[in-house]
Amino acid sequence: MLRPRIIPCLLVHKNGLVKTVNFKNPKYVGDPINAVRIFNEKEVDELMVLDIDATSNHNEPDYKMIGHLASECRMPLCYGGGIKTSEQAERIFSLGVEKVALSSIAIEKPQLISEIANIVGNQSVVIVIDVKKHAFTGKYEIRTHNGLMSTGLNPFEFAEKMEKLGAGEIVINSIDNDGVMKGYDLSLVERMKKLVNVPLTVLGGAGSLEDIGELIKLHGTLGAAAGSLFVFKGKFKAVLINYPTRDERDRLVKDNLLANIM
């Protein structure tokens, strides 16, 4: 059986490491290279880095920054932001990145998923779906460009389409829960997990290891990603790069996977 992955997600804005709340008001929390070095020491399962400026500002990926991150990173690295062509994706892979994450371009140019998958394999193509729940109808909708652009698209139908096109992983990211640190949107996860057959990673809302444990307990083997949890510490949110020890992760996974099976 595959083991659940616990994944720090780092947001890059103006070349700095930031954290948002509901995709708004990015707060500077440090240098991304320094964060990668600390996560190396903590032997994280995997690292996701998303440049939140690139797509919104219509910029190409910052290859210099990506190269620096990849050269420092000693764990599997997923990068997203500004990728619009298979040539750009190939260049990023050549820098040492294991996965590329696509978001709005997957809506604008869905054939790109198949193009990249045919070059490097499905396992290296990740689709990030940013989802917002309508306050009145309760329906989920995909948003793009840092949550500012409404698409009217159903995230569940879209995820199925992406899988058919060759995506090897789906990341479901709750805009409503982003940075709030009060737990994942478990109903969103439940609905998505029933539909997709590729690995699913969940992002948005984790405030404690217990939140990750609950996610694993209810939904088994998947990716549990978090931002604030791994860059803040304590109720006053002091900036401190942190991550559970190997023993803590083993206990967390073992206890909750057993509960899921039973």
Domain count, the chain: 1
Domain span at residue 43 reads 5-261
- pLDDT at res. 262: 56
Q: Which residues contact 66 (CB under 8 A, 6 or more apart)?
A: 79, 92, 95, 97
- pLDDT at res. 77: 98
Q: In the predicted model, is pLDDT for residue 3 greater than 90? A: no
Q: In the predicted model, is pLDDT for residue 261 greater than 70? A: no
Residue that is written with structure tokens 């990673």 in the block: 201
Q: In the predicted model, is pLDDT for residue 115 greater than 80? A: yes
Sign of the CA dihedral with 245 first, then 250, 255, and 261 last: positive
Helix axes 186-195, 155-165, angle to 10 degrees: 40
- pLDDT at res. 55: 87
pLDDT category of residue 1 using cuts at 50, 70 and 90: low
Q: In the predicted model, is pLDDT for residue 259 greater than 80? A: no
Distance of CA 118 to the CA centre of its chain: 22
Average pLDDT of every residue of the chain: 95
Distance of CA 43 to the CA centre of its chain: 18
The stretches of the chain forming alpha helices (DSSP H) are 32-41, 63-72, 86-94, 104-108, 111-120, 155-165, 186-195, 209-219, 228-231, 246-261
Residues with a catalytic annotation lie at: 130
* 205-219 tens-digit pLDDT: 999 999 999 999 999
pLDDT category of residue 196 using cuts at 50, 70 and 90: very high
Judge contact between 257 and 216, C-beta under 8 A: yes
- pLDDT at res. 68: 97
CA distance 126 to 106: 10
Q: In the predicted model, is pLDDT for residue 19 greater than 60? A: yes
CATH number of the domain bearing residue 249: 3.20.20.70
* 140-179 tens-digit pLDDT: 999 999 999 999 999 999 999 999 999 999 999 999 999 9
Average confidence (pLDDT) over 95-109: 97
Judge contact between 5 and 126, C-beta under 8 A: no
* 54-86 tens-digit pLDDT: 988 889 999 999 999 999 999 999 999 999 999
Assigned token pair, 103:
């978001």
Q: Cα–Cα distances in Å, from 201 out to 21, 22, 238, 262?
A: 19, 18, 26, 22
Rg of the chain on CA atoms, in Å: 17
